[in-house]
Amino acid sequence: MNTINYLKEIYGYGVPIFLKDIRIGQKSKLSIRKDLSRGVENGDICRESQGIYYFDAKKDFPTVISFIDIIDKKYIGEKILDTNVYVDIFGYYTGLSFLNQIGISQQVPAVIEIVTNNTSCKRYITINGFKALLRKPKTMINNSNWKVLQFLDSFYLLNADDIKKHYKTIYEYKIKNINDKQINEYLCLYPKRTALLLTELEVLNRYEHK
C-alpha cells in the first residue's frame, strides 16, 4: 500500500497528521517514517515540525496548519471530523482561555493555557509563532471528568466579586455541564479557598469541606 496516497485519502488537505498515530497494516514505523521522508523530498507531503505532517492544497497561497488544530490533536483529544465534538479526551483549555470561551473575560490571552495528560510538568511550547502553557493535571483526565476539572481550575483566577458579577454565566455553565456530585468527587484536590467560594456564593449548594 502506498503510504502517501493512503494518508491523503484518510486525512485530506490541511489536517495535521501525527507520525505516532499512523497505522498501516503490518508496515513498521521505520518503513512509514522513510515513506514520509521521501514524500517530503518529492513534495508530495509537507512536514510541519518533527513528527507532524500535512497535505498542502497547493492553491494560490500555501496551506498553513492551524495552531489550534495541532494543539487539539496533541494535547486535548481526538475530534470527530468536521465537527467540534471531542472523543478520547485527555486535556482541556484553562485559565483565561476558558474564561474567554464562556464569556466571563473579554481578554484574549497571549498564551493559551492547557491542562493535559501529555505533559509531566509545567512547560511552554511554541508552534507557528504561537505560545501555549502546558500544565500537569491534578488527576488523570478522561471523557467523564474533564468538564468538572476545567470548571474547578477556573476558580484560581476568580474572587468573590468576579463570581458575583458573572454569577449567572458561571451557574448556567455548571447546570448545563456538571452536577454537585461530580464537584464533590474532585473538590478535595483543590485548595480550601475553592470550596469556600463555591459554597458561600451558592455556586455549589451543599458541601462539607474537610
Residue 129: the pLDDT is 79
**Grid cell at residue 3:** 503510504
pLDDT tens-digit series, residues 166-209: 988 998 888 889 988 999 999 999 999 898 888 877 776 543 44
- CA separation, residue 178 to residues 94, 127, 149, 173, 185 (Å): 16, 32, 10, 8, 12
Residues 6+ apart with CB under 8 A from 21: none
**Grid cell at residue 70:** 495541532
Residue 53: the pLDDT is 87
Residues of the chain with pLDDT under 50: 206-210
* Main-chain dihedrals φ then ψ at residue 197, nearest 5 degrees: -60, -45
The region that residue 60 occupies, defined by phi over 0 for left and psi between -120 and 50 for alpha, beta otherwise, is alpha
**Grid cell at residue 206:** 451543599
Residue 127: the pLDDT is 80
Residue 209: the pLDDT is 41
Residue 40: the pLDDT is 93
Residue 210: the pLDDT is 39
Q: What is the 3-state secondary structure (H, E, C) of the chain?
A: CCHHHHHHHHHCCCCCEEHHHCCCCCCCHHHHHHHHHHHHHHCCCEEEECCEEECCCCCCCCCCCCHHHHHHHHHHCEECCCCCCEECCCEEEEHHHHHHHCCCCCCCCCEEEEEECCCCCCEEEEECCEEEEEECCCCCCCCCCHHHHHHHHHHHCCCHHHHHHCHHHHHHHHHHHCCHHHHHHHHHHCCHHHHHHHHHCCCCCCCCCC
